[in-house]
Amino acid sequence: MHFRSEKKGKAQEGAEDPVPEYNHTQDETGLEYDDGTPIPCPPHTTERKLVAKIDLHVIPFLCIMYLLAFLDRVNISNANIFGLSTDLHIATGNKYNTALVIFFVPYVLFEIPSNVLLKKLKPHIWLSSCMFCFGFVTICQGLVHSYSGLLATRFFLGLCETGMFPGCFYLIGMWYRRHEAQRRYSFFFGSATLAGAFGGLLASAIGKMDGMRGYRGWRWIFILEGTLTCVVSLFFFFLLPSFPEEAKWLQPSERAFIRSRLREDQGRSAAERRITLRDIGNVFKDPKIFVGGFMYFGLIVPAYGYAYFSPGIIKSYGYSAIETQLYSVPPWAAAFAFAMVIAYASDRTRHRFFFALLPICVCITGFAILIAVHNRKHLQYGALFLVAMGAFSAMPVIICWFSMNLGGHHRRAVGTAWQIGFGNVGGIIAVYAFLAKDAPKYITGYSICIAFVCVGGVSCVIYFAMCYWQNRRREKSPTNLGLTEYEKTEMGDLSPDYRYLL
């Protein structure tokens, strides 16, 4: 699961000499790479303290950014409870579903180009710019007066948000070793569940502004939440983290040690050079890349189905608009707690497969109850807990498992963007799975969700088998194949020294 040469840096008590930077050598292309010598932890700190320092500078800002992004993406479901469809005359037919689905068109198409730009322009520039833009579009969404205006704002919202999710996962993956990453991934992904909970509470409060200054309550939801995003983005231009090789809040000796510990776990990153079209093409020669996309694709359908339609489902149980917003909060909170338990256990055992399948089974159980039970609202409401807990706990495990098994900057940037981009095609299916004519039972929608969760589960089994088989083959094969360090770096996780985390 790790490189053969893995060693753990320790604080060198009493050391007086400064910790050396990497010794660099040049390959035949003229690019410089370190010579592979392990770097000890600087004497003024410890590895634990340094990881805590990384946590403080990387995770909170990305979590807040994604919380606001997800809130701006799904707050249309809260706005709909307060009359959006009625005011824009889209309450009948599938116009509301079309407004949801148009978001995914640019969101899916521009995932890979966005990650390439992220590396080229630096994370704090690209991500904060995207953040300001989708906040501004959200404000505009609150000012539309026609169906065409809603469609236009949803399209540009998808375009502006396209870099958020894969960019953040890519960035987190470049800071942590594989057995450290799941808790950080799940905590970051938990921003989505917190956004769902926070969105329900916020919408219940903002909805009371109905009629203020001539604006309906649903308009205020978009305007206020979009304004908050824009203001925060201005600060995040200076606060968002960069890659380990460029972080100015680390001392040179700390950067050297971090690069060393990451290299020993994942191999050299090839951060020194840009991503080319040839790199992108080479990534897709690996069949595991496609399987990774289907793992996420299968879970996206129930996740977006829940995010977009749970307020309407809860309202069908007989609650008022304000009560619906409040009752939407507990399932999101439970999903966050369950996701963190799964993440802790997964990191502790250094295993992913079982902790991906367990939440998938929980999710299937929830949908099975919803299909079978139609006149017991408390049991149905409890089933929504299982759906949210299962879907939103399995997704971060699947993404972390796949992303952290990709070695090197270029394979991880392209592979992560592909998984997120292809997976979000499932969002298109999700918004057409729950149609107004199927309310309140939504048998078709629940059945579609179960089918796609099973697709995700089967894909996890296939991915596990492929990784296990390649690990076994590499254990039995000679590793001294005459490859240069440059060639191994270019191969990333395809290097004969690499071992996949199972």
The highest-confidence range among 97-106, 140-149, 197-206, by mean pLDDT, is 140-149
Check residue 480 and give its pLDDT. 61
Q: Which residues contact 278 (CB under 8 A, 6 or more apart)?
A: none
Give the DSSP per-residue string, 378-423. Answer: HHHHHHHHHHHHHHHHHHHHHHHHHHHTS-SHHHHHHHHHHHHHHH
> Domains of the chain (ranges plus CATH)?
43-476+483-494 (1.20.1250.20)
Alpha carbons within 13 A on the beta-carbon side of 179: 14
Percent of the chain's residues with pLDDT above 70:
88
Check residue 465 and give its pLDDT. 96
Check residue 13 and give its pLDDT. 37
Report the alpha-carbon distance of residue 64 to residue 232 in Å, rounded.
9
Check residue 34 and give its pLDDT. 47
Going by C-alpha positions, the residue among 94, 75, 86, 200 that lies closest to residue 142 is 75
Residue 455's pLDDT band (cuts 50, 70, 90): very high
Going by C-alpha positions, the residue among 71, 66, 46 that lies closest to residue 206 is 71
Residue 432 has pLDDT above 90, yes or no: no
Both structure tokens of 448: 């579609």
Report the alpha-carbon distance of residue 290 to residue 446 in Å, rounded.
26
Query: Tens digits of per-residue pLDDT, 55-93?
Result: 999 899 998 998 898 888 888 888 888 888 889 988 887
SS3 of 433-490: the string is HCCHHHCCCCHHHHHHHHHHHHHHHHHHHHHHHHHHHHHHHHHHCCCCCCCCHHHHHH
Query: Tens digits of per-residue pLDDT, 32-42?
Result: 444 455 788 88
How far apart, in Å, do the first and last CA atoms of the chain sit? 7
Residue 407's pLDDT band (cuts 50, 70, 90): confident
Span 47-56, mean pLDDT? Answer: 90
| Residue 24, SS3 per DSSP | strand
Residue 326 has pLDDT above 50, yes or no: yes
Report the alpha-carbon distance of residue 201 to residue 322 in Å, rounded.
9
Query: Tens digits of per-residue pLDDT, 183-238?
Result: 888 888 887 788 777 777 888 888 788 778 878 888 999 999 999 999 999 999 99
| Residue 276, SS3 per DSSP | coil
Least confident stretch, 25-34, 140-149, 400-409, 436-445:
25-34
Check residue 490 and give its pLDDT. 67
Q: Which residues contact 87 (CB under 8 A, 6 or more apart)?
A: 216, 218
Check residue 142 and give its pLDDT. 92
Q: Which residues contact 499 (CB under 8 A, 6 or more apart)?
A: 1, 2, 3, 4, 471, 474
Residue 24 has pLDDT above 50, yes or no: no
What phi, psi does 271 have (nearest 5°)? -70, -15
| CB-based contact 386:366 (threshold 8 Å) | yes
Residue 43 has pLDDT above 60, yes or no: yes
Residue 149 has pLDDT above 90, yes or no: yes
Residue 15 has pLDDT above 50, yes or no: no
Number of CB atoms found within 10 A of residue 293's CB: 20
Radius of gyration of the CA atoms of the chain, in A: 23
Query: Tens digits of per-residue pLDDT, 297-308?
Result: 999 999 988 988
Query: Tens digits of per-residue pLDDT, 345-370?
Result: 998 998 999 999 999 999 999 999 99
Span 164-169, mean pLDDT? Answer: 81
- Answer with the residue of higher pLDDT: 337 or 274: 337
Q: Which residues contact 281 (CB under 8 A, 6 or more apart)?
A: none
Residue 239's pLDDT band (cuts 50, 70, 90): confident
The highest-confidence range among 119-133, 162-176, 253-267, by mean pLDDT, is 119-133
Check residue 267 and give its pLDDT. 57
Residue whose structure tokens are 């990881």: 51
Cα distances from 285 to residues 314, 321, 345, 462, in angstroms, run 45, 50, 33, 17
Check residue 229 and give its pLDDT. 94
Residue 294 has pLDDT above 90, yes or no: yes
Report the alpha-carbon distance of residue 28 to residue 111 in Å, rounded.
33
| CB-based contact 292:402 (threshold 8 Å) | yes
Give the angle 289-295-298 at the CA atoms, nearest 5°: 135
Span 405-423, mean pLDDT? Answer: 83
Cα distances from 52 to residues 39, 55, 245, 323, in angstroms, run 19, 5, 18, 40
Residue 401 has pLDDT above 90, yes or no: yes
Going by C-alpha positions, the residue among 420, 439, 475, 479 that lies closest to residue 165 is 420
Residue 173 has pLDDT above 70, yes or no: yes
